[in-house]
Structure 1
């Protein structure tokens, strides 16, 4: 019988440079880069802060997956340092979203709920597929765990975007869009803190 797609790598094979792990990262990288282009264009056209925030999240994740591919197979300390860089990226994303939401609240915005719903559903589909592929590696080192956390947070953020679209459609106001953008920022900050703690622990005991 052929090997299962979820089979654990052989003991003498480095799981951080396993072909399946690298293949998943490449798929995630391409999917996130493509969705960044789609969502940033749609977010600007629909005047949706939540979509724009999600688009930048896709960009950050594509960068993170590229970093993960670059350090796959390296020593634990190198992977932990890469995870620290990814945590910093997530932190910067979270702070940017907070600023964008505040700007939208002060300057006003008029998000388009139909576009938010369509693009949000597409983004959710992509992120669920990636999250399912990464689920097997969720308990790995900080570098592997950070890839799972990014994907998990993205799926949660997409669900929130769909909720924002319903809120904007139902109320005719922009505050649901701004609220969801703020929630997405909180997810990014929370994920960055998780990755930072584990990476620092690995550097201290690695």
Structure 2
């Protein structure tokens, strides 16, 4: 083709595919954040709140990833580092909410928890499918895939918490799952940050 070599055109096409995927998952997560946040506040669920904050963090992450798509390895590694910090902040917020609910106990509405965890699971399953094809392309897309995989774990955990609240009639399953999700997000944040730092050191 006139005006570009084969490698340049291939990279350009790859970047365009990444952009289309990121726009799609960004929109899905933005919509799910608003819906799940409203449900979490209505149901009084810590686990569902963790789910909504995870969607917000992902939406911000995908926006950063869009910026990084056509940039070099160093820029992508820096964006991945920011993503790790965002996951870390989300983990700390969830753990703080667990502490609050220990001081001010409440029994959440398990019906709302179960319904919205399944809706979020369907949405995030679609995101994970869309992102899977880009998982090994670079650190930017790898960290995005990591965030999406976290969503699946979060959704399943919230559904399990809803079942626990239904069976016991108490709020402690919601808190147990909230604590576990906080720890899971913390571990994921440290992994993404570590990978980004290694990329920056190599660059």
Is the structural similarity TM-score above 0.5? yes
- Among candidates 77, 94, 100, match of residue 80 of structure 1: 77
Q: Deviations over 1:8-56 (max 9, x none)?
A: xx85422795222111100110000000100110000000011111101
| Alignment map for 1:1-206 (pairs within 5 Å) | 11-12=7-8, 13-14=10-11, 18-206=15-203
Output the aligned Cα RMSD. 1.4
- TM-score w.r.t. structure 1 length? 0.92
Extract structure 1 runs of 4+ deviating beyond 6 A: none
Partner-residue secondary structure (3-state), 1:25? helix
Distance (Å, rounded) in 2 between the aligned partners of 1:184 and 1:135: 23
* C-alpha distance in structure 2 between counterparts of 1:170 and 1:41, whole Å: 24
Q: Distance in 2 between matches of 1:194 and 1:97?
A: 18
Go from structure 1 to structure 2 and tell me whether the alpha carbon gap of 1:170 and 1:16 turns closer, same or farther (over 3 Å shift).
farther
Q: Deviations over 1:28-85 (max 9, x none)?
A: 1000000010011000000001111110110010000000001111011011001101
Shift of 1:144: 1.0
Q: Name the stretch that deviates more: 108-117 or 134-143.
A: 134-143
Structure 2: tracts of 5 or more residues without a match? 1-5
5+ residue gaps, structure 1, are 1-9
